[in-house]
Amino acid sequence: MITAEEIVRMLKLAPLPVEGGLFRQTYRSEEMIEAAALPGRYAGDKSFCTAIYYLLTAEPDSFSALHRLPTEEIYHFYLGDPVEMLVLHPDGKCETLLLGTDIRNGQKVQHVVPRETWQGSRLRSGGRLALMGTTMAPGFDAEDFVLGNREDLLRRYPQASELIRGLTRGR
């Protein structure tokens, strides 16, 4: 079976600052959408679309920290072990799902996270690695990224406290 080190080398992945995991942007459209044509939740002009590779490993700090974005983010599961995703909706609803290839048992090979929704993910316990991709349109822009604050999220979503603690970095 392929190793995380081989994937990192072959796909030229690097650490994803703040959020966690390893990534490489694979696409950013050259065309832009002017800020005036976008809803008010966006700051500045945006690329039409962006895409990345995203790798989670068994390393203790390898998880996607809870964050939210103003754009829907489409996850694509490529290979590896199942990934547990927590989605915290603005109306207070908490959703957990598994990304993976076992679609007979409810795992998802693709999932759309709604805009303005808190999301975080990690390998399911015992997993070694998971290679995914994400796509966003309008494209990802770091100035739109909002990192979750542990205490604020615990107050708002107490029913997901264990997962929130595991998907935040001491904040």
DSSP string, 31-78: -EE-GGGS-TT--S-EES-EEEEEEEESSTT-EEEEEE-SS-EEEEEE
Strand-pairing partners, residue 119, are 67, 87
Res 151: pLDDT: 97
Number of structural domains found in the chain: 1
The CA distances from residue 23 to 26, 151, 168, in Å, are 9, 27, 19
Give the CATH number for residue 121.
2.60.120.10
User: What percent of the chain has a predicted confidence (pLDDT) above 70?
Assistant: 99
Rounded to an integer, what is the distance from CA 5 to the centroid of its chain?
A: 21
Predicted confidence (pLDDT) at residue 1 exceeds the cutoff of 90: no
* Average pLDDT of the chain, as a whole number: 96
Give the mean model confidence (pLDDT) for residues 100-128.
98
Distance CA 23, CA 107 (A): 22
Give a yes or no: residue 138 inside a domain: yes
Q: Take residue 166 and report the two structure tokens written for it.
A: 């595991």
Residue 51: give the domain boundaries.
4-166
Give a yes or no: residue 129 inside a domain: yes
Give a yes or no: residue 137 inside a domain: yes
Give a yes or no: residue 34 inside a domain: yes
**Global confidence as pTM:** 0.95
Give the mean model confidence (pLDDT) for residues 157-162.
97
Res 131: pLDDT: 98
pLDDT band at 22 (very low <50, low <70, confident <90, very high): very high
Give a yes or no: residue 90 inside a domain: yes
Give a yes or no: residue 171 inside a domain: no
Give the mean model confidence (pLDDT) for residues 139-159.
96
- Tokens 């990802």, located at residue: 140
